[in-house]
Amino acid sequence: MPYAEFLAELERAALSVRGFADLIGMNPNSITNYAGRGEVPQHIALVAVLVAEMATSGGDYRTAIAKVAPTKKPRGGTRRGHFGGDRQASLDLLP
C-alpha cells in the first residue's frame, strides 16, 4: 500500500502515526521510515485498513487489539542500565 493511502486510512480512524504505532506495539520511527520507501508492508497496511473500517462503523478496535496485547520489546542482548549488555564468558578451548 502506498504510504499516502496508509496515512489516509489512519486519518479515517482518527489516529496519528504515533497513536497507530503505540496501538500495535511498534516504534513510531519504524512506521515513519516507510515514508522514504513510499510503501507500507502488507501486514501493517492490513491492520490500518481494519482499524479504519472498525472506527467508521462504530466498532471498538482498541478492545479488539488489546486481546492480542502487543508490547514493545527491546532488541538485542542488552539489559537495562548496561550499555552493550553483559560481557561474554571466556571459553577455554585449548587442552
Residue 66: the pLDDT is: 84
92 has pLDDT over 90: no
Q: How confident is the model at residue 10 (pLDDT cuts 50, 70, 90)?
A: very high
Residue position matching grid coordinates 539489559 = 79
Q: What are the pLDDT digits (tens) for 25-78?
A: 888 999 999 999 999 999 999 999 999 999 999 888 888 888 887 666 655 555
β partners of residue 84? none
C-alpha 30/C-alpha 58 separation (Å) is 29
Q: What are phi and psi of 36, to 5 degrees?
A: -65, -30
What is the per-residue pLDDT for 70? 67
